[in-house]
Structure 1
Amino acid sequence: MTTVAPRSDVRRHELADFLRSRRERITPEQVGLPRGRRRRTPGLRREEVAQLSAVGVTWYTWLEQAREIQVSAQVLDALARALLLDASERAHLFALAGAADPAPNTPCPSVTPALRAMLDQLAPLPACVQNSRYDILAYNSTYGRLLCDLDALPREDRNCLWLAFTDPDWRESVVDHAETLRILAAKFRASMAEHLAEPAWKALVARLEARSPEFREVWARHEVVGQGARTKYILNRHVGLLHLEHTSLWLGPAPGPRLVTYAPLDEETRARLERLRALTETQTRARTQTRAQDPAGPAGPAPAPGPVAV
């Protein structure tokens, strides 16, 4: 009698073979590792992939051995980056693993066309969509110029925690800077309790600790704070001081993606937000005209303000 292997077994073996083939094609020099004199393995070693992906060597070995283990989207994302997968290979990796791809250059399932339209219509109120790791998944034009020029930043840097501790423009815009950093780090630590083993969260903390002594000092306090609405003063470099109420509307079970809005608390702030929207619209038109006149020219600023999925 012929026995047909379960579909899950086939998927695991295909995934194992695919990972092995991608690992063997990459040279150490491509990922900034020394080759050494006694290298016999074609491409990278398993422990090198594990190191680059911030996962355990044993765990990654089991993955290449097609063992029945669970793999999260965050781990797959880290592996895809470590193995230098292109878009097609990345899609294949996630398909084999049966997981949704959270990549910055793919549509976020939480950011629907209707939600994008809502973000635009909320302007001049600054609004964005964030996940529990404080990645900025989408934003409207006024939020894109509220604290810094988000469009000019790489997608991987569009994270509130990263910007609050490292971006000069963002830091200058926050009036009560020290207290804001303390609360933000405490909220992040509370959110991270459910994601302690996930490489993407650990990688963000490691990146911040390597870059910011201030973050290391605040993070070492182990403070935790829950989510909630707050009033904020923001000193916008274009229109001046803004007095705003910060509110989060959860788009699913908490903790998860949320719609964040900043409502004006006085008429002067409302008028200044209107001026900020007018400014962003002028900049958008100028950038669009520049790209139309010289589409093959040198890389300029990132795309014009508006909802951007990451």
Structure 2
Amino acid sequence: MTLSLVHLTAHRKAIASLPVAQAEAKLIALWLEGKAESSIISYRRYTRRFLDFLDKPLKKVTYEDLVEYAADFGGNAENTKRIYIAAAKSLISFAHKIGYLPFNVGMALKLGELPDVINERYLDEADIKLLVRAASKHLEQAKTPKRQYTALRNLLIIKLLYQAGLRASEICDLTWGDLTPRGESGQVYVRKAKGSKNRTILIKQKLWSELMEFKASAHPTSAVFPSQKGGHLDRQNLHPIVKAIALEAGLSELVSAHWLRHAHGSHAIERGTNPVLVKETLGHANLAITDRYLKARPNDSSALNLMDL
């Protein structure tokens, strides 16, 4: 769709004064304008999957979101993956062209050079310990009850992201009713995960005890990790928390909640966990997605059996 200056101005005005949800619905309608009916049906399907994955307004999309989205197609045919990613890039490009997005973050993602997310964003076990140590240091230095509560919340977020392998949206949506005792420990019930697949994750005793102490007398419907204003912590507010702790730990500023999820998968595979169990814990749609962890971090290679040079 080629846009003249007149069209650009008209489209920009059409969505400028609308609330976010209505503005983005209008944006998608404008993007689809002029396409064949059969194409519109397909593009709506592609867009629905992308926005469900994004789990936040399109206005907040980042390059990292696109990379993670590309990695989410591990079990699909290569051509299918490229069609869906191309549609997301096209929507982002259109949104930038009419002034809804300040940057076209999709330009940096080349369809022929999709990044190896697991290898590029790998945290080893020592890195995880550095993150926990940095978050613990914040807790030790907190002077007021409010700051102590926030620092403890952030420490438990880091621990649970890693140990349960949760997605950012999943940890933000947790209520205390989703956590139930299991012997001396407990489990987390993840509701409405991606692909409408609920799952239950067992929690080790030490972390469970820390979570229960943090819970105190909170109501079952209360958020496990509330925001400063009360209610559930928003996904877009989770990333700055993880980033600040990562920087304090001396790690990359690019570290996000999803890096901890990747770390869970990689470390579990490296420690000999059955890939099927890793698949069920992480909520992957199929084993091909989980298999990326094994291929990215193999425990053996024929190269090790060759002579030294």
TM-score (norm 1): 0.31
TM-score (norm 2): 0.31
Q: Which has the higher contact order (CA 8 A, sep 6+)?
A: 1
Determine which structure has the larger helix proportion and give its number.
2
Determine which structure has the larger strand proportion and give its number.
1
